[in-house]
Chain A
Amino acid sequence: MSSLQQREAAGGPQRELAVGASAHRRSKAQLLRALWISKSGRAGLILVSLVVLGALVSVAGLSPHNPQAQSTSQVLKGPSLNHLLGTDQFGRDIFSLILEAMGVSLEIACIATLIAGVLGTLGGIAAGYLGGFASTVILRAADVIFAIPAILLALAIVAALGPGIMNSALAIGIGYIPIFVRVVRAPVLSLRSADFVGAARVLGFSRSRVLLHHILPNVYGVVAVQVSLALAWGILAEASLSFLGLGPPPPTASLGEMVYSATSLSGIAWWTLAGPSAAIVLAVLGFNLLGDGFRDATDPRTRRS
């Protein structure tokens, strides 16, 4: 941004270039404001902040109880002031367990999104900008991955690599790569023939410089939307995997596993199911709404004016 501003100030042929490149770009403060104006963006920001805050509280060791501390006198107690969301069959505090599990969940979702986002965005830019054979190969590969239902792909990869945080993240991330490829490729195709990109090429900038400094900044909007949606999917997929017993092995807390063990208990202790279910729903909903908000804030067609 700063280098662009300098060039803009310097004037000359680069001036036009910079204007083109920053047409869709706004400062972080402006983006946040646009996000806050959109109704779903605001709700998403609040929910996501709560979820992240909860996870941080647990990581910092500030949760109300030690999540793994078992207590025979506190088995399956309903919600109370001491145990906000009740206790489970081992007498552990469910609220503290949820906070810990949320941290694990976010960690897996973030790594998965990082994998999918980086590989998918690079693939999408390459497929859109280079065209020709490279594009065909990338799109074909994306089609192949997309053809295997994502949760099945994750199941098969976890089965092959064994359970664990990194393996879960990898299994979940790979399935989301094709979506990044597709959503990034479309705007890159139209940017390729944009005037400012042509100008950059005429000025003799290297291909990688054009791609990184002129094309990439203009797809941040769609990437931000997809990052939010990918995080939502990551949390959902992680919970599904651990629900099926393929999540990180115990004693790592996990939301899906908590829902699974609650299935046999919930008839007598509904809170064992309610807490973790609500946590999953709030997290998935939060990131989905945040994604909608980013779309409202960055897509000029849906932007409120």
Chain B
Amino acid sequence: MLVAIARRLLSTLITLFGVAVVIFVILRLLPGNAITASLGVSAGLLSHAQITQLDHFYGIGESPVSQFTSWLGATLTGNLGVSLSSQKPVAGMIAQALPVTLELGIMALAIGVLLGVFFGVAGALRPGHIGDLAGQALALVGLAVPSFVLGTALVTFMSSTFHYFPSSESYAGLFANTWLNLQQIFFPACVLGVGIAAAIMRTTRAAVLEINTQNFVRTARGKGVSERAVVWRHLLLNALVPIVTMSGIQLGYLLGGTVIIEEIFVLPGLGRMLVTAINNRDFPVVQSVTMLFAAGFVVINMLTDVFSAVIDPRSKDR
């Protein structure tokens, strides 16, 4: 199994390298260069000597390959460059925004997994029953209602009907004002959570339905194991691998979703930072944040694979 994990690790590294190349290529297509991005129209007032000097400073005119390797080298050593619009180091900006997005993501994942697993199991045990129908309805909402529509509707409803909109106050840190912070994070997390609950519910329902017909489950019920123990130890434990894998895949959706949700709920996280940076053509920030999102997604998918291999004793034989 160690060999399999090592192989998975290697392929993850190759994928990450590919992601770096793709992001680098996409952002090289941006019109203009670092000079026009940071100075705007006034770049036209620069003298020829100044332009040459700035070209040298930003490394403009070097071959793409050497630009790429110097960017990759700097990124790997933690130097993410300087924001073109705020002149602050990107690493510092990320360090400030990351906890917000992490908290939002973890809470959304928790809500999504709880809702999804609960309705998935309930639906599989009694298909067609009210709980199953409620779960199917929830899945339909999560599938068809885009997070920004749900988010916008929620914000409007809360603020116009109840005059309650915690996000209108400036963002409170988790430790500075825990109660306000939780209120500010809870609603966007619900919106994202419903979105991922749909897929997790479908996966759980299908897995439990299949396991429920197997002989060992019938044996357990036949020998008088309590229903609660059957659900927890026989059904859920065996459905864990598909559920974990699906949760990992949904994380990609979650990461993309934070971009829009943070914009709606005015949370100063990575997603909002990315949208602002895209509008400002601030490509050191765009580059680093996109890379971070992709790296997070790839690494978590690798971890879910490893986790699945570890909890599934059958994989030891392979």
- The chain A residues found within 8 Å of chain B, CB to CB, are 140-141, 143-152, 155-157, 159-162, 236, 239-240, 243-246, 256, 259, 262-263, 266-267, 270, 273, 277, 280-281, 284-285, 288
Once bound together, how far apart are the Cα atoms of A288 and B146, in whole Å?
A: 13
Are A244 and B27 touching (Cβ within 8 A)? no
Are A161 and B29 touching (Cβ within 8 A)? yes
Are B29 and A263 touching (Cβ within 8 A)? no
Top 5 nearest A-B pairs by Cβ distance? A144-B18, A151-B256, A285-B144, A149-B256, A267-B160
Q: A143-B15, A277-B153 are in contact. Are A151 and B29 (CB under 8 A)?
A: no
Closest A residue by C-beta to B289: A152
B156 at the interface (CB under 8 A from A): yes
User: Cβ of A146: which chain B residues have Cβ within 8 Å of it?
Assistant: 252
Are A147 and B19 touching (Cβ within 8 A)? yes
Are A148 and B259 touching (Cβ within 8 A)? no
Once bound together, how far apart are the Cα atoms of A285 and B26, in whole Å?
A: 32
Are A149 and B152 touching (Cβ within 8 A)? no
User: Cβ of A160: which chain B residues have Cβ within 8 Å of it?
Assistant: 26-27, 29-30
User: Cβ of A155: which chain B residues have Cβ within 8 Å of it?
Assistant: 259, 274-275, 278
Q: Which of B27, B144, B146, B252 contacts A239 (CB 8 A)?
A: B146
User: Cβ of B274: which chain A residues have Cβ within 8 Å of it?
Assistant: 152, 155
Are B23 and A148 touching (Cβ within 8 A)? yes
Chain A at the B interface: SS class:
helix
Q: A144-B18, A156-B278 are in contact. Are A150 and B256 (CB under 8 A)?
A: yes
A108 to chain B, nearest CB (A): 15
Q: Which of B156, B259, B278 contacts A263 (CB 8 A)?
A: B156
For chain B, residues 257 to 288, give those with C-beta under 8 angstroms from any C-beta of chain A. Answer: 257, 259-260, 263-264, 274-275, 278-279, 281, 286
For chain B, residues 129 to 155, give those with C-beta under 8 angstroms from any C-beta of chain A. Answer: 140, 143-146, 148-149, 152-153, 155
User: Cβ of A246: which chain B residues have Cβ within 8 Å of it?
Assistant: 278
Q: Which of B155, B255, B286 contacts A159 (CB 8 A)?
A: B286
User: Cβ of B14: which chain A residues have Cβ within 8 Å of it?
Assistant: 140
Are A266 and B143 touching (Cβ within 8 A)? no
> Considering only CB atoms and an 8 Å cut-off, how many residues of chain B contact the other chain?
47
User: Cβ of A148: which chain B residues have Cβ within 8 Å of it?
Assistant: 19, 22-23, 290, 293-294, 297
B253 at the interface (CB under 8 A from A): yes
Once bound together, how far apart are the Cα atoms of A246 and B281, in whole Å?
A: 13
B78 at the interface (CB under 8 A from A): no
User: Cβ of B30: which chain A residues have Cβ within 8 Å of it?
Assistant: 159-160
Are A152 and B255 touching (Cβ within 8 A)? yes
User: Cβ of B263: which chain A residues have Cβ within 8 Å of it?
Assistant: 244
- The chain B residues found within 8 Å of chain A, CB to CB, are 11, 14-16, 18-19, 21-23, 26-27, 29-31, 140, 143-146, 148-149, 152-153, 155-156, 159-160, 252-253, 255-257, 259-260, 263-264, 274-275, 278-279, 281, 286, 290, 293-294, 297-298
Known contacts A147-B19, A281-B145; 20 further A-B pairs (Cβ under 8 A): A140-B14, A141-B18, A144-B15, A144-B22, A148-B19, A148-B293, A152-B293, A152-B294, A156-B290, A159-B278, A239-B146, A243-B148, A244-B263, A244-B275, A246-B278, A263-B152, A273-B152, A277-B153, A285-B143, A288-B144
Once bound together, how far apart are the Cα atoms of A262 and B157, in whole Å?
A: 13
Are A263 and B155 touching (Cβ within 8 A)? yes
Once bound together, how far apart are the Cα atoms of A147 and B22, in whole Å?
A: 11
Are A263 and B256 touching (Cβ within 8 A)? no
User: Cβ of B21: which chain A residues have Cβ within 8 Å of it?
Assistant: 144
Are A143 and B146 touching (Cβ within 8 A)? no
Closest A residue by C-beta to B146: A236
Q: Which of B27, B145, B146, B290 contacts A152 (CB 8 A)?
A: B290
Once bound together, how far apart are the Cα atoms of A256 and B297, in whole Å?
A: 26
A-B residue pairs in contact (CB < 8 Å), sample of 5: A145-B22, A148-B294, A149-B294, A266-B152, A285-B143
Are A273 and B260 touching (Cβ within 8 A)? no
B11 to chain A, nearest CB (A): 8
Q: A266-B160, A267-B160 are in contact. Are A259 and B18 (CB under 8 A)?
A: no
User: Cβ of B281: which chain A residues have Cβ within 8 Å of it?
Assistant: 159
Once bound together, how far apart are the Cα atoms of A263 and B281, in whole Å?
A: 25
User: Cβ of A162: which chain B residues have Cβ within 8 Å of it?
Assistant: 31
User: Cβ of B259: which chain A residues have Cβ within 8 Å of it?
Assistant: 151-152, 155, 244
Q: A243-B260, A246-B278 are in contact. Are A140 and B18 (CB under 8 A)?
A: yes
Q: Which of B27, B152, B255, B293 contacts A277 (CB 8 A)?
A: B152
Are B153 and A273 touching (Cβ within 8 A)? yes
